[in-house]
Amino acid sequence: MTTIGQLGDVMKESTVIAYTFAKSFLSSKDPKNDFLDKAKIRLHVPEGATPKDGPSAGVTIVSALLSLAMDRPIRQNVPMTGELSLTGKV
């Protein structure tokens, strides 16, 4: 996964953790699903007026990645935030 945009160092690390956990989780739930191994994913965080940094987008990023890989949309009325560990703890 490649990140594009105005991301601080902590948020860049958070995207790596989210991607790593998403791949691990997906392989445990659906070993035949190799979407995240084959797809060229670009995460764009627009520049805007406020620089983006911090770990709180981890849950949202992993949810988006798994939604994409599993072809299961996330309900639009579900708010999310939270730091994610490599083991999936929030």
Q: Which two tokens stand for residue 29?
A: 């739930």
CA distance 89 to 46: 27
For residue 7, the model assigns a pLDDT of 87
- Domain residue ranges of the chain, discontinuous segments joined by +: 2-70
For residue 10, the model assigns a pLDDT of 92
pLDDT one-digit tens code per residue, 21-39: 999 999 999 999 999 999 9
**Structure letter (DSSP) for residue 2:** E
CA distance 14 to 70: 21
Query: Which of 53, 55, 61 shows the shortest CA–CA distance to 25?
Result: 61
Specify the DSSP element, H or E, that contains 31: none
pLDDT one-digit tens code per residue, 39-66: 999 999 887 667 778 889 999 999 999 9
Q: What is the CATH number of domain 2-70?
A: 3.30.230.10
Q: Which two tokens stand for residue 37?
A: 């191994």
